[in-house]
Structure 1
């Protein structure tokens, strides 16, 4: 069964970027510390990254995050979704209008202009159609940004919440949660390393 998994790194005080994020300061001031774990050589960090990306049949992201990763200082062969670990899943971008051009044209991009729910549906169809080396069903991963994941969570679109809690207090930035209805979670797993505490919850 294909699940919708919200997967994001977050600070101890609940921010997914530092202050003043933007095209020239993608993760905001101090925000790079949130993703130290993804570049770690710790075997548990590598396993968490590998398992998370191997299960990805499709990835959903918002337009602001797309503009960062496709921008001149964005992803390349060494830095990107699942770099060094897996192949290239389909990417579905929630946007009001598709971009005029795409720098990362070797990736499979779909731009959905009819809202987040439709984007998740499109991503689910991509994941269900994607081949799996393991023979298991592949999942849809919501990689962000924070507003996209928060909106999906509030709308009841998320089955699993996967947080990578970085040992940093940013003080300001983009919050992951800004309100919305209360939700009950069931803790599935906890993995602690020197760079993060990896938390997985089923959303009930």
Structure 2
């Protein structure tokens, strides 16, 4: 069965965006340094980014993140999940209602209106189908936003948590965890690069 991996970048003070994030301001005010590692020339950053894309059998996101991505200044052929890789995974969006239209029609979108657990189940089916087609084990990747990842961890829907800690203090913005239940994680891997500290935890 495909594993569920939550993978997200966060500031030193626990924010995944700066203040006022939304379409046209995806990372929020002052949030651009969060993703400096994604565009880094550091071989460690490049390896981690390539590995994350390669393992993605399906990707889950929330509606707010979808609206940022699908906005006119959002993803393009040059900028986006897997934009520089061969092939792109199916995307599953958790939403109360599907959008009337989608700009990024070249990607495989599924809109699930019955909750996060159902969205992950749909994504798992997609990831397992991709695994069979490619002959390698692929994962379900939760890419955000912060509320979706936090909710999935709290609900016990995540097998592993990958955090990319950016060396920036934002002071405000979208927090990753809010009033989550106490739990202890098992640290599996730490990779330090020139632009970030990449942490992988198993969730018991």
TM-score bucket of the superposed structures, by smaller chain? over 0.9
Q: CA deviation at 1:180?
A: 2.0
Tell which deviates more after alignment, 86-95 or 124-133. 124-133
The residue aligned with 1:127 is: 127
1:140-159 correspondence runs (5 A): 140-159=140-159
TM (norm. structure 2) is: 0.97
For residues 114-140 of structure 1, the C-alpha deviation after alignment (integer angstroms, 9 at most, x for no partner) is 000000000000000014687321100
Q: What does residue 64 of structure 1 align with?
A: 64
Helix, strand or coil at the partner of 1:99: coil
Contact 1:12 1:169 (8 Å CA) reproduced: yes
SS of corresponding position for 2:102: coil
1:24, CA displacement in angstroms? 2.2
2: CA distance between counterparts of 1:68 and 1:24? Answer: 7
Q: Structure 1: give runs of 5+ residues left out of the alignment.
A: none
Closer, same or farther: CA 183–86 of 1 in aligned 2, 3 Å = farther
TM superposition shift of 1:186 = 0.7
In structure 1, the partner of 2:184 is 184
Alignment of 1:46-195 (within 5 A): 46-131=46-131, 135-195=135-195
Matches for 1:22-33 after TM superposition, within 5 Å:
22-33=22-33
Q: Determine if the alignment matches structure 1 residue 3 to structure 2 residue 3.
A: yes
The offset of 1:29, in angstroms, is 1.1
- Give me the whole-angstrom Cα distance separating, in 2, the residues matched to 1:151 and 1:62: 11
For residue 44 of structure 1, report the CA deviation from its aligned partner: 0.7
For residues 77 and 148 of structure 2, the distance between their equivalents in structure 1, rounded to whole angstroms, comes to 25
The alignment of Structure 1 onto Structure 2 pairs a total of residues equal to 204
CA contact (8 A) 1:21 1:27 kept: yes
Cα distance change on mapping 1:33 and 1:86 into 2, 3 Å: farther
- Stretches of structure 2 lacking an aligned partner (at least 5 in a row): none
Distance in 1 of aligned mates of 2:10 and 2:20: 16
